[in-house]
Amino acid sequence: MLDSVRGIAWPSLRRVSSALPGPHISRVRGTTAEFVEYRPYRQGDDPKKIDWKLLGRTDRVYIRVSQERTILPTMFVLDASASMAFPSETHAKWELARQLAVGLAAVARHRGDPVGLALADVRGTQIIAPRTRKTVLDEMMQHLERAPSGEAALTPAASSAMRQGARVVIVTDFLGDAGALLAAGKAYTATGAELYAIHVVDRGELDPDPGKMLLWDPEHPEVRRPMSPPARAAYVHRFTEWRAELAREWHAIGAVYAMAVPGEEPWRQVIRRITTPQGSTRRTG
């Protein structure tokens, strides 16, 4: 899987405020090989940056300005609460969430970006700080070995990730503290940072099996609901409206929102869709 994503690029949505060399367009302009423009020499400029050939031809002193490239530390926030273990027979939501997190981390790391993980489970928030070394993907996969269980708030993990990453990717089913998570995301994107909200939804949640007449909450098994045909129709209608509203809210705060359904499309195709959002304009200013 890690080898198969090597050809996928994940450029930043806007210029990055960093001076460390990397693959993303920086707000800083310097003297690298990617030429942008000339500007007149000003007192205090390094004489080494003068274009001496241009000076010889025009008798004017200019600095050759180029576009610098930099890194973008990327943190992945994964929801490991019991609702992500649906359906109980296959844990399909969790399997897809793990694949997307590790696959996207590999895409970022292959291009030189530091990557890290914030895992929200019953033990609290487990953090791997963003790093570029090869073992960081192994550490992430080891943390994602255990199956989701219990009830865990995602906002504390997301807030921790937002303090460490210039780009944060949240992978969840949004069946927990969605309101608090949105508020944290709004404050984060207001700083100019990049935020991705990946909504993992199982086909059984979109279109419940008509043969199942009783449903229960994975995080609270004592909560059970009968699923008669009228109740099923009402659920499908409300669930559709909720997903549409969720997408509008995350788009409104400047985040990239994408939904992923296990088994609906190859995970590599989902990664391509996330790294190049259709209809979005990459802001470079």
Q: Which of 173, 185, 124, 129 is nearest to 153 (CA)?
A: 124
Burial call 149-171: b when 16+ CB within 10 Å, e when fewer: eeebbbbbbbbbbbebbbbbbbb
pLDDT digits (tens, 9 = 90+) for 217-238: 766 667 777 888 888 899 999 9
Q: How many Å apart are CA 144 and CA 267, to the nearest integer?
A: 17
Confirm if 33 and 41 have CB atoms less than 8 A apart: no
**Nearest-angstrom CA–CA distance, 69 and 191:** 21
CB atoms within 10 A of CB 44: 5
Which residue's structure tokens are 């791997």? 128
Q: Which regions of the chain are under pLDDT 70?
A: 14-38, 64-70, 216, 218-221, 277-285
- Vertex 263, ends 257 and 264: CA angle to 5°? 55
**CB neighbour class for 123 (10 Å; exposed up to 12, middle 13-18, buried from 19):** exposed
224 backbone dihedrals φ, ψ, rounded to 5°? -125, 145
Reference 78, options 194, 184, 167, 200; nearest CA is 200
Q: Are 229 and 208 in contact (CB under 8 A)?
A: no
Element (H, E) at 246: helix 229-252
Domains with residue ranges and CATH for the chain: 24-70 (no CATH), 74-275 (3.40.50.410)
Please write the tens of the pLDDT for every residue from 132-190.
Answer: 888 999 999 999 998 898 888 999 999 999 998 789 999 999 998 999 999 999 999 99
**CA 223 to CA 203: how far, in whole Å?**
21
Whole-angstrom Cα distance, residue 21 to residue 23? 7
Helix (H) or strand (E) holding 67: strand 62-70
Residue 284: the pLDDT is 36
Contact 171, 198 (CB under 8 A): yes
Measured between alpha carbons, how far is 135 from 272 in angstroms, rounded to an integer?
Answer: 24
Res 283: pLDDT: 40
Residue 22 token pair: 């990397």
Q: Taking the complete model, does pTM exceed 0.85, yes or no?
A: no
Give per-residue burial for 205-214: e unless 16+ CB within 10 Å, then b. beebeeeeee
Between the CA of residue 98 and those of 71, 76, 103, 173, what are the distances in Å? 24, 10, 8, 13
d(CA 68, CA 11): 14
